[in-house]
Amino acid sequence: MAKDTTFTCTACNASFTKWSGRCDACEAWNTIEEVKPLSSGPKSKKSMGGLRGKQIDLTDLASEEKEPPRTLSGVGELDRTLGGGLVKASAILVGGDPGIGKSTLLLQAAARFARNGLKVLYISGEESASQVQMRARRLGLTESPVKLASETNLRDILTTLEAEKPDFVIIDSIQTMWLDTVEAAPGSVSQVRSAAHELTTFAKRNGIAIVMVGHVTKDGQIAGPRVVEHMVDTVLYFEGERGHQFRILRAVKNRFGPADEIGVFEMTGKGLAEVKNPSALFLSERGDPAPGSVVFSGIEGSRPVLCEFQALVSPSPTPQARRTVVGWDGSRLAMILAVLESRAGIPFTGLDVYLNVAGGLRVSEPAADLAVAAALVSAREDSAIPKECVVFGEISLSGALRPAPQTENRLKEASKLGFTSAITPVRAKRGGDSGVDLREFSDLHSFIEQIFGAQSPQ
């Protein structure tokens, strides 16, 4: 059992279970002091008197405080991802690959918020003021009242913020900032963490909304935004495929709104344009019905978004068959393949499997299981799913199909985009008429039998 008290040497920090006049470790005299533990279990009556902190005030769960005031940028996709606008006294992290468009997005946001009455400061540690001005010219924002600086010394930046008293500040990027109190290179874990801590505390104390940009590196993400995610109120990731013009701003954490909300943008020659109807965009490159192509009616945050799953299955030239996934979870794919083999008798041994979500969207919902299974079987059997049909539903390990949340919303969106039928799990309760023909199944086996005909395992 742990002792109630221990003794440490104030000179060398060595600890002992007994007091003595001389430290055995560093041989100093009269340096050993008693240290009382903070926690006091039922038996440690003695240590109770040793707690030196002051009593903290406790309060009830009910509070008088109203919702924090918010400012809208007017860019619907941005306001939505922020959880309904920018909150005062908050710290936001915007992460993403270098070159994905973070600086562009934030300069445009800065201009919008400035136009809506906020005092906005844009501080770049990566580019000179003239480079930012050039971008502003390209984006047509030179008239906007945003104040600009190129600086990396955080002490000077905070002093400036104290004097200027802005409402909204952009720090681009947190990896370039350095504190003279920390002996480490800019971009190192300790600098990034300390700089983020200083900025977050400053934001709270002074009622400023501060956005920190953080680059994510593909490998490891060391010293990247990950080390500051827990400090800030909101974490947004800006995602997209290099070759595509679509960009997705995703809230992965939000103390002031729903996480998992997304905003969809398109990178144009004049900056980022918001995409008001993402479903139409993600399906825009779809051609005639092809084997392996399935439309999934998903939910991203608070709204339905349709997208296309594409699968390709081909005989593997190597003994180790390939499993390649873009836009979905690799281990979930392995699970679906195992369930297809064990519960529906459709093996994928010796076959390479490629799965892709078209348009660069990343789907993480389990409701996509059935769409993935349909795409895989459709590719393997070389048999297309009808073009005007959407698929969604969760698959359990037993092969049973489970209804997806917000089924009505998914069906409504499908109907809005011209889809006339849907393949879904059986539901106990039906909602209103969505105008879509339902083909419901209770398990994977019956779904495959009826959609693709009787299968003969190869």
Report the binding-site residues for ATP: 96-103
Return the one option of ligand TYD, Mg ion, none that residue 270 interacts with (CB less than 5 to 8 A, by type). Answer: ligand TYD
* Per-residue burial over 22-38, b = 16 or more CB atoms within 10 Å of its CB, e = otherwise: ebeeeeeeebbeeebee
Cis peptide before 173 (omega within 30 of 0): yes
How do strand 351-357 and strand 303-315 relate by DSSP bridges?
antiparallel
Binding part of the chain for Mg ion, among 95-103, 130-138, 237-245, 331-339 by CB under 5 A, reads: 95-103
- Which CB atom, from 103 or from 434, has the smaller least distance to Mg ion? 103
Residue nearest to Mg ion (CB): 103
- Which CB atom, from 271 or from 298, has the smaller least distance to ligand TYD? 271
- Which CB atom, from 146 or from 294, has the smaller least distance to ligand TYD? 146
Binding part of the chain for Mg ion, among 1-9, 103-111, 192-200, 355-363 by CB under 5 A, reads: 103-111
User: How many C-beta neighbours within 10 Å does residue 3 have?
Assistant: 11
Q: Least distance to Mg ion from the beta carbon of 170, Å?
A: 11
Q: Least distance to Mg ion from the beta carbon of 99, Å?
A: 8
Question: Per DSSP, what are the bridge partners of residue 86?
Answer: 71
User: How many C-beta neighbours within 10 Å does residue 272 have?
Assistant: 24
Q: Least distance to Mg ion from the beta carbon of 142, Å?
A: 19
User: How many C-beta neighbours within 10 Å does residue 436 have?
Assistant: 21
Tell me which H or E stretch contains 379. Answer: helix 369-381
Q: Least distance to ligand TYD from the beta carbon of 155, Å?
A: 24
Give residues with Cβ within 8 angstroms of 285, minimum separation 6.
Answer: 358, 359
- Which CB atom, from 103 or from 356, has the smaller least distance to Mg ion? 103
User: How many C-beta neighbours within 10 Å does residue 98 have?
Assistant: 12
Query: What is the distance between the alpha carbons of residues 172 and 199, in angstroms, rounded to a whole number?
Result: 12
Return the one option of ligand TYD, Mg ion, none that residue 287 interacts with (CB less than 5 to 8 A, by type). Answer: none
- Which CB atom, from 102 or from 112, has the smaller least distance to ligand TYD? 102
- Which CB atom, from 128 or from 284, has the smaller least distance to Mg ion? 128
Q: Least distance to ligand TYD from the beta carbon of 91, Å?
A: 19
Helix axis angle, 154-164 relative to 189-206, nearest 10°? 10
Query: What is the distance between the alpha carbons of residues 150 and 286, in angstroms, rounded to a whole number?
Result: 45
Return the one option of ligand TYD, Mg ion, none that residue 267 interacts with (CB less than 5 to 8 A, by type). Answer: ligand TYD
Return the one option of Mg ion, ligand TYD, none that residue 104 interacts with (CB less than 5 to 8 A, by type). Answer: ligand TYD
Task: Give burial (CB, 10 Å; 0-12/13-18/19+) of 398.
Answer: exposed
- Positions touching ligand TYD (CB under 6 A) are 96, 98-104, 135, 138-139, 267, 269-271
Query: What is the distance between the alpha carbons of residues 117 and 112, in angstroms, rounded to a whole number?
Result: 9
Helix axis angle, 444-452 relative to 330-344, nearest 10°? 80
- Residues at the binding site are 96-103
Return the one option of Mg ion, ligand TYD, none that residue 269 interacts with (CB less than 5 to 8 A, by type). Answer: ligand TYD
Binding part of the chain for Mg ion, among 100-108, 110-118, 145-153, 244-252 by CB under 5 A, reads: 100-108
Among 103, 176, 297, 406, binds Mg ion (CB under 5 A): 103
Which residue do the tokens 């936001």 mark? 92
Given the rule CB under 5 A, which residues bind Mg ion? 103
